[in-house]
Amino acid sequence: MSIHRGKRCKLCDRHHFLFDDYCQKCRDDLNTVSKQIQKQRVMPTDQNVYAISVKDDPSALVKFGFSCSVNTRLDSLQIGSPVRLEVVAHCRGLRHHEKMIHRYLSRERVYGEWFRRSERSDQVIAAIASGAIVSFLEDRGARLRVINHLQEQTAVV
């Protein structure tokens, strides 16, 4: 009969000599499952990215932002605006998506979160309106990373 010192794993019942309740293999499996769950987290329904612009003026500036309540945000912007504003598009999104939109449209920025209307800003508005802003930004982000990588390689040579 052999004598084992240490603990038994709570998942697989194997002996181990670690200080916690799980062996190294089970701990690694738990970490993998935990990471997969974090990737699959559902986006809260009360978080939105939006585009707000001057009503009936397609050439006006457009504001891209993030809010839990788009209508409340529109009302607060309307108070300080001399022109009538409207929500051009909105969909579920996170603050991170708003920041990505701002980076993508940095050349069109006029002030703060207000941007000039352009082909790029119209593409973003269309992506928000269709609810596909996440895939739109991921696609643009992947392209920008490839371009930056190629520029870095040519700068080194």
Cα–Cα distance measured from residue 121 to residue 112, given in angstroms and rounded to the nearest whole number: 15
Q: Which two tokens stand for residue 21?
A: 């309740």
Sequence-ordered list of residues with C-beta below 8 angstroms from that of 13, at least 6 positions apart, any chain? none
Cα–Cα distance measured from residue 44 to residue 141, given in angstroms and rounded to the nearest whole number: 23
Sequence-ordered list of residues with C-beta below 8 angstroms from that of 4, at least 6 positions apart, any chain? 15
- Per-residue pLDDT for the chain (157 aa), expressed as one digit of tens each? 555 566 777 767 776 666 677 777 877 877 777 776 666 655 555 789 999 999 988 788 999 999 989 999 999 999 988 999 999 999 988 888 898 899 889 899 999 999 999 999 999 999 999 988 878 887 776 555 554 555 555 555 4
Q: What is the pTM of this model?
A: 0.62
Percent of the chain with pLDDT over 70: 74
